[in-house]
Amino acid sequence: MLWDIFCKVIDNHGDLGVCWRLCADLAQRGHHVRLWVDDPQALAWMAPGALEGAYKPEGQAAAANIQIRAWDSALQAPQDIPSDVWIEAFGCELPAHFLTQASNTLNRAKLPVWLNLEYLSAEFYVQRSHRLPSPVQHGPLRGHTKWFYYPGFNNRTGGLLREPNLAARQAAFDAPAWRARADALALPSQREAPTPPASGCRTSLFCYEPAVLGQALALSDLNPEGHRWWVTHGRAHQAVVLALNQFDLASPKPSWTALPALSQFEFDHLLWASDLNFVRGEDSLVRALWAGKPLVWHIYPQEDNAHHAKLEAFLDWLQAPASLRDFHRVWNGIQSTPLPALDLPAWGICVQKARERLLAQTDLLTQLLQFVAEKS
């Protein structure tokens, strides 16, 4: 089938990352995709080759069937044939020009299946709202219906993105080789870092700007076998530099490596090679769950603190032990106590059990294909 997917970039690591993973999963399963996006530049590092129409999934010889379209570009006849599915990602609405042109060329009695792919949450409203109709009240296609489609963590939701070859990729992954290569990826840091330890805990850091970051960096230094931080490009890197500037000159400095912007494949490798993963937003949380390693989630902050309930719902679903709940609350600025000690064995068991529950569920795209078939 031909899919039109629409994405307005707010946080290019999150919304565009999720949309691209969906596009790539569709292409791997033989579908064709037009991705309409207002700011595609992050794809240059997220999915090398995508902007040139030459993106190749890992292990694939041929380029994927994905076309990047500018948000305001017009449909062109006859080459732009009507699609089978429209997806509005994260509450964005179809461009007005697209709706107008589509209404003039489509059989109005039978539109493509029209979906609103929503944000991920473990809150109860998700399973209540999943697959509900949303009648179109205004515009050239009023009278038709689009459908709410919610990702989620249980079998009463749309599930999570999980490409069919993910398990095989993980099984073939050579973690020691990647760890040995990680320092070769390093960017020159703005502060000379101590020599990384040969062993100890390896931690990936992909975060916003948590107030307790300096505290976390100091906590990890108590590990008797040493601690290595792999710091991702962008806001996390900047936050680490600022946090280290607050360290007392006599204090031992943590060992850290500043990484360049990683493609989605390499970001998976980073998570798989780490012993502890700090992640943020939606896409990286899902990938950290598939990695099956202890994780800490920096949830996207909202002005009305709606993210507090969202975080608590996730921790409830995760069946997180008390130490992991407290760490999350302090890390996310909800609780003002000192960070609790790391308890990686207990956290790892918790995440592994959650991963097993998720693997027993049908993945998002498989469910989505079934839904589209039902509504077509």
**One domain for residues 217 and 107:** no
**One domain for residues 319 and 170:** yes
Question: How far is residue 48's CA from residue 157's CA, in Å, rounded to a whole number?
Answer: 32
CATH number at residue 181: 3.40.50
**One domain for residues 148 and 269:** no
Question: How far is residue 261's CA from residue 190's CA, in Å, rounded to a whole number?
Answer: 16
pLDDT bracket for residue 192 (50, 70, 90): very low
pLDDT surpassing 60 at residue 288: yes
Strand pairing class (85-89; 113-117): parallel
**One domain for residues 153 and 186:** no
Any idea which residue has 């709410």 for tokens? 148
Question: How far is residue 267's CA from residue 154's CA, in Å, rounded to a whole number?
Answer: 25
Predicted TM-score (pTM) of the model is 0.94
Give, rounded to a whole angstrom, the gap between the first and last alpha carbons of the chain: 11
**One domain for residues 239 and 289:** yes
**One domain for residues 126 and 176:** no
Among 193, 260, 242, 181, CA closest to 221: 193
- Which residues are known to be catalytic? 15, 282
Question: How far is residue 6's CA from residue 291's CA, in Å, rounded to a whole number?
Answer: 28
**One domain for residues 309 and 342:** yes
Question: How far is residue 146's CA from residue 116's CA, in Å, rounded to a whole number?
Answer: 7
pLDDT average, residue stretch 134-161:
94
**One domain for residues 173 and 46:** no
**One domain for residues 21 and 79:** yes
**One domain for residues 151 and 187:** no
Per-residue confidence (pLDDT) for residue 191, from 0 to 100: 44
Query: pLDDT by residue (tens digit) across 29-76?
Result: 999 999 999 999 999 999 999 999 989 887 676 778 999 999 999 888
Query: pLDDT by residue (tens digit) across 117-133?
Result: 999 999 999 999 999 99
Per-residue confidence (pLDDT) for residue 358, from 0 to 100: 98
Helix (H) or strand (E) segment spanning residue 175: helix 175-182
Question: How far is residue 287's CA from residue 289's CA, in Å, rounded to a whole number?
Answer: 5
DSSP letters, 41-57, are TTHHHHSTTTTTT----
Domain count for the chain: 2
**One domain for residues 69 and 208:** no
Query: pLDDT by residue (tens digit) across 216-247?
Result: 998 866 665 678 899 999 999 999 999 999 88
pLDDT surpassing 60 at residue 215: yes
Among 291, 307, 122, CA closest to 206: 291
Separate counts of helices (H) and strands (E) for the chain: 14, 12
pLDDT bracket for residue 197 (50, 70, 90): low
Per-residue confidence (pLDDT) for residue 235, from 0 to 100: 95
pLDDT average, residue stretch 351-366:
98
Q: Which domain holds residue 28?
A: 2-160+361-375
pLDDT bracket for residue 280 (50, 70, 90): very high
Per-residue confidence (pLDDT) for residue 64, from 0 to 100: 82
Give Rg (Cα) of the chain.
22
**One domain for residues 36 and 172:** no
